[in-house]
Amino acid sequence: MTALTSSIPSFDHDELIQSHPVPTLLIDSGGVVLFVNAAAEQLCNVSRSAMVGRVIYDVIQMDRSYRQRMSDAATSALFAHRAEISVGGRKAIYVDMQMVPYGNSGHRILALVPSQSDAELMGGAIGRSGRAAGAAASMLAHEIKNPLAGIKGAAQLLARKTDAGGERFTTLICTEVDRIATLIDQMEHFSRGQPIACGPINLYQPIHQAMETARARQFPGVRFAEDFDPSLPLVHGNHDAMVQILLNLLTNGSEALGGRDDGVVRLSTAYRHGLSIDNGDGRGRIALPIEVSVSDNGPGVPADIRGDLFDPFVTTKREGRGLGLALVAKLARDMGGTVQHIRDGDWTRFRVHLPVAQKGRAA
């Protein structure tokens, strides 16, 4: 063991950090830059000599809360997802920012990892192939909208000749056609990086629409159950996005049961204290007390893909495309929330956490 250990070469740590591909800076307890590696020079488009010796936030423009924490010697660690920064008045970029203590003198290492764009998170290719895929998606959206209009028109004609029981289903058809058309518009906006419009919504309206649609599909052997907190406040979100999230989760849960006779898909709501998230937009941690949970008593997600479940093209379905949960995660993020998967005993649970609507909050 001694012979093997002695054969390990010693490393020049400065050279190691200098060649590391992650943009990395060393700052002292007051936020003064002591060291900058090549990747950080490239990210900031500023030479090392122009950064060393200056206070970090005089070099890199960032939100006031991050400036205060970096200049505070008592703050040794920091993590922010998709923090907005800019250098030299250039266009802002988003980074995952992580600061950790280094040594015993109050120095800290600051890593700035460029955040993946939403298109990359959805698995889109970069460059020409991505633009080609976006153009193809736009053409497909156009072709889908034409038959949708015909389906809605046919449903409206049928509604004139049916009884009250049949009118319920023709109304559902028209509502779903409108939702799909809106979703297509949102996906076109998504390809252009535009956020969805959010505002105060009554969560039980999209819940009712999603449950009605799921029940109409008549999954064999599946019983739907509801467990709602009737006192929930208005949620900051988007009605159609919530319908899409819930319908995807309800459909996945129903299909996971595989037609078993005792299958249950449960949709529940609750108010949970304590959960919050930092979206990296400078507002600090945002409370996410509203929980919407879709659970099923099926076999659960295979252990080997649980860590990648919300990545594009990850699926357990033979005919699946692996985009449903990626879209769920994307829509939850767009509303300022998050989605989690857990295995709880015999139940598979997907929990969507959302913020409460605030008075005067912009859509």
Residues 221 and 359 in one domain: yes
Q: How far apart, in Å, are the Cα atoms of 237 and each of 115, 177, 277, 319? A: 23, 21, 16, 31
- Cβ(341)–Cβ(301) under 8 Å? yes
pLDDT value, residue 217: 83
pLDDT tens per residue, range 167-193: 888 888 888 888 787 767 656 654 555
What is the percent of the chain with per-residue pLDDT over 90, rounded to a whole number? 22
Q: Decide which of 86, 115, 144 is a domain's last residue.
A: 115
pLDDT value, residue 234: 95
Residues 263 and 322 in one domain: yes
Residues 19 and 45 in one domain: yes
Residue 82's CATH number = 3.30.450.20
Residue 245's CATH number = 3.30.565.10
Considering the chain, what is the average pLDDT of its residues? 78
Look up the domain containing 274 and give its range: 197-363
Give the containing element (helix H, strand E) for 205: helix 204-216
- 25 φ, ψ (degrees, to nearest 5): -130, 150
Residues 353 and 237 in one domain: yes
Cβ partners under 8 Å of residue 224, min gap 6: 211, 214, 215, 250, 264, 265, 266, 267
Q: Decide which of 115, 150, 168 is a domain's last residue.
A: 115
**In the chain, how many domains are there?**
3
Band of residue 138 on the pLDDT scale cut at 50, 70, 90: low
For residues 211 and 165, the model is more confident at: 211
Residues 344 and 209 in one domain: yes
Distance, CA of 244 to CA of 324 (rounded, Å): 9
> 25-54 burial, b for 16+ CB within 10 Å, e for fewer?
bbbbbebbbebbbebbbebbebebeebeee
DSSP for 214-230, please give it.
HHHT--TTEEEEEE--T
Residues 109 and 127 in one domain: no
Cβ partners under 8 Å of residue 26, min gap 6: 17, 33, 34, 35, 36, 102, 107, 108, 109, 110
